[in-house]
Amino acid sequence: MSWGGLDTAGITAPPAQARRLDTRRILLLLGCVVVLLSVVRIVTDTAGLTSSGTYGAALRLAVPILLAALGGIYAERTGVANIGLEGMMILGTWFGAWGGWQFGAWWGVVLGITGGATGALIHAIATVSFGVNQIVSGVAINILAAGVARFLSVVAFTGQGGGATQSPQVTSELPRFTMPFLAGGDLFGWRSPDVLGWLERRRWFLVSDVSAMFRGFTLELSILTVMTLTLVPLTYLFLWRTRLGLRMRSAGENPWAAESLGVRVYTMKYVGVLISGGLAGMAGAFLVLEAAGIYREGQTGGRGFIGLAAMIFGNWRPTGAAAAAGLFGYADALNLRSPEAVHALVLFVAISLLALGGYYAYRRRVVGASIALALGALAAVWFGVTETVPREFIFITPYVATLLVLAVASQRLRMPTYDGVTFRKGEQIS
Amino acid sequence: MSRRWGIRLLWLLVPVSAAVLAVGISSIVLLSIDASPVDAFRSMVRYGTQGNSFASMINRAVPLFVAGLAVAIGFKMNLFNIGVEGQYRIATLLAAAAGAAITLPAPLHIAFIMLVGMAVGAAWASIAAVLKVKRGVHEVVSTIMLNSIATGLGAYLLANYLRKPAVGSELLIATPPIAPSGRLGPITQIGGEDLRSFLLIAIALGVGVFVLIWRTRFGYDLRASGINPDAARVSGVDPNAMVIRTMLISGAIAGLIGMSDLFGFFHAYTLDFPTGLGFDGIAVALVGLNHPVGIALAALVFGWVDRAAQILDLEGIPKEVIVITKGVIILSVVIAYEIVRRLVQSAEVKAAAEATRRLEEEKEAVPA
C-alpha cells in the first residue's frame, strides 16, 4: 500500500520510459514557453507578465515552496510520508523570528532550521521508533506546532512589541546580492551598468522578455535563495550519487531488502525525516526574514501542503520539484503584482492547450486531443468574455493543477515503493 | 476468562498514560513560565464545574463529536479522510445560503438545511473517492488539495454570489440570515448558558453510526476491509464500492459539523465560523479510538479543556497552554495505542499457542 499515485505502481516495472523528459526536450519546451509568453505579452500589452519584477517575486515566492518540496523528498525517499511539513514550517517561522529578533538574522536561520527539525524529531520518534501511522502523526504534529507557536508567542512576544499572533519587527537582515554587469550590482564599490535592465526597457520582442527573466533572477538575491537553488543539484547528487543517499533511498524502496543487506533502516529514516524538517524550518525562516520581516500567525498559509504538491508534481525528484515550485511561485507572483497579467495568462493557457490538442491530434490520440482542444477553447472563451480573474482562482491554481496531474498522469508518476508504510525491524511485509 | 480480561485492561493504559503525560507536560510548561500548575488546575476545575461551563462544554463538544464520527468512519476501513475540514466548510456555506433563500415550516426547514449540508459534503468528498477509485490517487493527497480548493472556492462564492447585500457601512461578510423557522432554540439554559438542541440530533447520529458500523452487513464489510482488505475482497466485498460509499457517508456527516453553530448561534455563514474543526475531528477520532462512545468522551474532554482554560487568562497564565496539552494528548494516545496494540497482539498469539498446545496434549491423552 502506498499513499500517493497508483497503488499498483512500484514493485513491477517503472512506468513507460518511452517519452521521458530528457534535457533536450525540457529546453525545447522551456523555449516554447518563453516565446509564447513574449507573444502574449505583446498581444495583450501587459508588461507585468514578463517583467523582471514579476520574475523576482516568483523566485522569492517559490523558495519556501521549493524548500518544503525538497524536505518532502528527503522524508518520502526514506519511506516516511510527511504531512507534518506545514507544522514544521510553522515552527520554523516562529523560531526564525525569535532568533532573528533576539540574536540577528543568521541565528534566525539557524534556529528556524532547528525548530523545524525538532518537529521532525517528534515525527521520527512516533513513526519510526513506535510505528505510529505516518499520516496520523503528521496531522498531530500540525496541530501541536500551531499550538506551540501560539503559546510561545504569548510568552515571548507579549509586551515586547508583539503579541499572541505576531512577533516584533525583525530588523536584522540577511545579505543580498546583485549580479554585477547583468543587473547592475556593485563591484568593489563601483556601480556596474545594468545591461539587462537596459535591454528590458527596450520592450523588444523576446529579447526584452528573456533579459527581464535573467534580471529577475540576478537582482537583489537573498543569500537564502542562492542556498536553496544550490540545494536542488546538491540534493540530486546526494540522494542519487552517494552511498548514504543510496541507502536512504533503499529504505523507501524496499526496507526489508535493505535491512537484509545491513542497511540501518531506522537510522536512514531518522536522517531523512530530520533533514526534511530542517528544510521546512528553513522555509519558515525564509518567510519571516525575507518575505515579511515579522512572524505572523497563519503566515505559512498552507505552503507546507503546496510543497507536498510540488513534490508529487515533480515526481519525487528535486529538478521536477523545482520546476513545479517555480510554476506555483510564478502564478502567485502574477496574482500579487498585476491582476491583469493573470488575465493575460489565461490566453497563454488557452494557446498552450490548443497546441497540445493539435499535437495529440497529429499523434492520433483522439481522447487526449478532444479534451485538450475543448479545455483550450473554454479558456479562450473565458479570456474573451471576462476582464479579470478572481484572486481566489489563483489561490487554488496549484491545488487544482496537482489534482489534474494526479488524475491524468498518475501512471507516469513513480513514488518510492514503500513510501508511507510502517517498517518494523524483523517483521515481514504486512 | 481472566486472561481475556487482563488483555482488555491493557487498553486502559491508553487513556491513563495520555492523561498522565498531558498533565505532566503541561505542568512542566507551566513551571517553565513560573506559573503554579496546582493553582492553574485548581482554578480550571473550579471554573469548569460551574453550571454554565457544563452547557458550554457540551456545546463545544457537539461539533467535535460530529467531526470525529465523520473521520472515524473512514478510519475504520483505513481510509484517511483528511478532507473533513473542506467538506465541512463548503457544506456549511452552501447549506446556510440555501436555508436563507427559502422559507419552509419549521421541521422541514431544519431538515432541508441538513440535507443540503449532507449532500454538499458528500459531493465534495465524492471527488476524492472517484479520483481514488478511477485514477488511483491516494485520498490523503487529494483531500489535502481539496481542503485548500474548498477554502478558495468558498471565499469566492461568499464574496461574489452568496453574500448578503451590505447595509450602510456594515463590513460583515456573511450569507443572509436564516428565517426563524430554520433555527433551533435551546433545550434549556444552565447557569444562563444555552444548551443547544442539536445535541439531541448529534446523539441520534452517534447511535446511527454505531448501528451502521457494528450491526449491519455494510458495517461488517467496512470493518473487514479495514482489518484485512485481501480477505474482504476474497469474500466478495467490492473494495471500490466500499471506498465510494464510505467516503460519501463520511462527507455527509462532515456536512453536519457546522449545523449546531448554524442552528443555535450564527443563523448565517460568516467569516467568524470556527475553522479547523475537521482537523480537531481527526484528533477526537484518534483519541476516541474510532468508537462513538470513545469519540463522545474525547469530544467532551476537549470541550471541557477548551472551556475551563478560559479562566487561565484571568490568573495571568496564557490559556494557549491548553493547545499544547491537546497536542500532547493526541500524540501520546496514538503512541500508547500502537504499543498496547502490539502487546495485545503478542498476548493473543501466546494465548492461541497455549490453547493449541493444550488441545494437542488432550488429543495425545485420549488414546492412552
| 3-state helix, strand and coil shares in percent for chain A, rounded to the nearest 5 | 70, 5, 30
**Closest to A140 (Cβ–Cβ): which among B135, B153, B330?**
B330
- In this prediction, residues B48-52 reach a mean pLDDT of 84
pLDDT value at position A11? 39
- Which helix (H) or strand (E) segment holds residue B84: the answer is helix B84-101
pLDDT value at position A7? 42
* Chain B: residue whose CA lies nearest to A147: B323
B250 pLDDT band (50/70/90 cuts)? Answer: very high
B351 pLDDT band (50/70/90 cuts)? Answer: confident
CB contact, 8 Å: B34 with chain A? no
For residues A299 and A96, the answer to whether their CB atoms sit within 8 Å is: no
* Chain A: residue whose CA lies nearest to B158: A392
Q: Do A148 and B324 touch (CB under 8 A)?
A: yes
pLDDT value at position A12? 41
**Closest to A147 (Cβ–Cβ): which among B131, B159, B327?**
B327
A46 pLDDT band (50/70/90 cuts)? Answer: confident
- In this prediction, residues A158-167 reach a mean pLDDT of 83
Q: Do B156 and A133 touch (CB under 8 A)?
A: no
For residues B82 and B143, the answer to whether their CB atoms sit within 8 Å is: yes
Return the half-sphere exposure (C-beta side, CA atoms, 13 A cut-off) of residue A54.
Answer: 28
Chain A partners of B321 at a C-beta cutoff of 8 Å? 151
**Closest to B145 (Cβ–Cβ): which among A140, A164, A403?**
A403
| CA-wise closest residue to A152 among A81, A217, A224, A97 | A97
pLDDT greater than 50 at residue A16: no
CB contact, 8 Å: B30 with chain A? no
Q: What is the rounded CA–CA span in Å between residue B154 and residue B143?
A: 16
pLDDT value at position A89? 97
**Secondary structure (3-state) at B229:** helix
CB contact, 8 Å: B231 with chain A? no
| CA-wise closest residue to B82 among B64, B60, B66, B67 | B67
- In this prediction, residues B311-318 reach a mean pLDDT of 81
pLDDT greater than 60 at residue A1: no
- In this prediction, residues A417-424 reach a mean pLDDT of 85
A19 pLDDT band (50/70/90 cuts)? Answer: low
CATH tag, A51-178+220-337: 1.10.3470.10
pLDDT greater than 90 at residue A242: yes
Q: Do A131 and B338 touch (CB under 8 A)?
A: yes
CB contact, 8 Å: B141 with chain A? yes
The better pLDDT of the pair B19, B249 is held by B249
Q: What is the dihedral of CA B292, B294, B298, B299, to 10 degrees?
A: 20
- In this prediction, residues A338-350 reach a mean pLDDT of 83
Identify the residue among B84, B147, B149, B282 best suited for mutation to test binding to A, counting A beta carbons within 10 A and taking the highest.
Answer: B149
pLDDT value at position B245? 95
Q: Do A137 and B149 touch (CB under 8 A)?
A: no
CB contact, 8 Å: B160 with chain A? yes
CB contact, 8 Å: B363 with chain A? no
pLDDT greater than 70 at residue A364: yes
**Digit-coded pLDDT (tens) for B52-76:** 888 999 999 999 999 999 999 999 9
- Helices A105-124, A85-103: axis angle to 10 degrees equals 150
Q: What is the rounded CA–CA span in Å between residue A314 and residue A68?
A: 13
For the beta carbon of residue A242, count every other beta carbon within 10 angstroms: 11
* Chain A: residue whose CA lies nearest to B330: A140
Residue matched to cell numbers 527539525: A117
| 3-state helix, strand and coil shares in percent for chain B, rounded to the nearest 5 | 75, 5, 20
* Chain A: residue whose CA lies nearest to B228: A430
For residues A366 and A377, the answer to whether their CB atoms sit within 8 Å is: no
Read off the pTM. Answer: 0.88
Pairing of β A221-222 and β A190-191: unpaired
- What DSSP assignment string belongs to A271-327? HHHHHHHHHHHHHHHHIIIIIISS-BTTTTTTHHHHHHHHHHHTTT-HHHHHHHHHH
| Most confident range, picked from A272-276, A362-366, A409-413 | A272-276
Q: Do B279 and A83 touch (CB under 8 A)?
A: no
For residues B91 and B255, the answer to whether their CB atoms sit within 8 Å is: yes
Least Cα separation, residue A1 to chain B (angstroms): 10
Determine which of A76-80, A165-169, B130-134 has the lowest per-residue pLDDT on average.
A165-169
AA letter at A383: F
Determine which of A137-141, A198-202, B336-340, B341-345 has the lowest per-residue pLDDT on average.
A198-202
pLDDT value at position B208? 96
For residues A3 and A10, the answer to whether their CB atoms sit within 8 Å is: no
pLDDT value at position A278? 97
- In this prediction, residues B184-202 reach a mean pLDDT of 88
Q: What is the rounded CA–CA span in Å between residue B242 and residue B74?
A: 10
Boundaries of every domain in chain B: 36-316
**Which residues on neighbouring strands pair with residue B174, listed in sequence order?**
B270
What's the mean per-residue pLDDT of chain A?
Answer: 85
A228 pLDDT band (50/70/90 cuts)? Answer: very high
* Chain A: residue whose CA lies nearest to B323: A147
pLDDT value at position B123? 97
Pairing of β B186-190 and β A190-191: unpaired
pLDDT greater than 50 at residue B238: yes
Phi first, then psi, for residue A349 (nearest 5°) are -60, -40
- In this prediction, residues B325-329 reach a mean pLDDT of 85
pLDDT value at position A413? 77
pLDDT value at position B321? 82
Phi first, then psi, for residue A21 (nearest 5°) are -75, 105
CATH tag, B36-316: 1.10.3470
- In this prediction, residues A275-288 reach a mean pLDDT of 96
Chain A partners of B29 at a C-beta cutoff of 8 Å? 151
Boundaries of every domain in chain A: 51-178+220-337, 338-414
pLDDT value at position B316? 79
Q: Do A144 and B328 touch (CB under 8 A)?
A: yes
pLDDT greater than 60 at residue B368: no
**Closest to B338 (Cβ–Cβ): which among A130, A390, A393?**
A130
Q: Do B283 and A164 touch (CB under 8 A)?
A: no
Return the half-sphere exposure (C-beta side, CA atoms, 13 A cut-off) of residue A349.
Answer: 20
Per this entry, what is the length of chain A?
430
Chain B partners of A413 at a C-beta cutoff of 8 Å? none
Q: What is the rounded CA–CA span in Å between residue A139 and residue B248?
A: 22
Phi first, then psi, for residue A192 (nearest 5°) are -80, 160
Least Cα separation, residue B331 to chain A (angstroms): 6
- What DSSP assignment string belongs to A323-336? HHHHHHHHHHHHHH
**Closest to A135 (Cβ–Cβ): which among B140, B155, B280?**
B140
pLDDT value at position A285? 96
CB contact, 8 Å: B324 with chain A? yes
Q: Give CA angle at B350 (B345, B356), nearest 5°.
A: 125
Q: Do B331 and A122 touch (CB under 8 A)?
A: yes
For residues B132 and B72, the answer to whether their CB atoms sit within 8 Å is: no
A164, exposed or middle or buried, with CB in 10 Å at 0-12, 13-18, 19+? middle
Q: Do A2 and B138 touch (CB under 8 A)?
A: yes
pLDDT greater than 60 at residue A18: no
End-to-end CA distance of chain A, in Å? 10
Q: Do A400 and B153 touch (CB under 8 A)?
A: no
Chain A partners of B33 at a C-beta cutoff of 8 Å? 155
Q: Do B141 and A154 touch (CB under 8 A)?
A: no
Q: Do B323 and A410 touch (CB under 8 A)?
A: no
- In this prediction, residues B117-135 reach a mean pLDDT of 94
Question: What number of helices (H) and strands (E) belong to chain A?
Answer: 16, 4
CB pairs under 8 A between A and B: 143
| CA-wise closest residue to A330 among A13, A55, A14, A116 | A55
* Chain B: residue whose CA lies nearest to A6: B136
A211 pLDDT band (50/70/90 cuts)? Answer: confident
B190, exposed or middle or buried, with CB in 10 Å at 0-12, 13-18, 19+? middle
**Closest to A151 (Cβ–Cβ): which among B82, B147, B318?**
B318
Q: Do B334 and A137 touch (CB under 8 A)?
A: yes
**Closest to A396 (Cβ–Cβ): which among B148, B160, B334?**
B148
* Chain A: residue whose CA lies nearest to B328: A144
Q: What is the rounded CA–CA span in Å between residue A304 and residue A71?
A: 10
pLDDT value at position B124? 96
What's the mean per-residue pLDDT of chain B?
Answer: 88
Determine which of A20-24, A146-150, A179-183, B358-362 has the lowest per-residue pLDDT on average.
A20-24
For residues A46 and A282, the answer to whether their CB atoms sit within 8 Å is: no
> H-type helices in A78-162, by residue range?
85-103, 105-124, 134-157
The better pLDDT of the pair A338, A127 is held by A127
**Digit-coded pLDDT (tens) for A58-75:** 999 999 999 999 999 999
B170 pLDDT band (50/70/90 cuts)? Answer: low
Contacts 24+ apart (CB under 8 A), A354-361: A354/A380
pLDDT value at position A394? 79
Determine which of A96-110, B38-52, B97-111, B228-242 has the lowest per-residue pLDDT on average.
B38-52
Least Cα separation, residue B156 to chain A (angstroms): 6
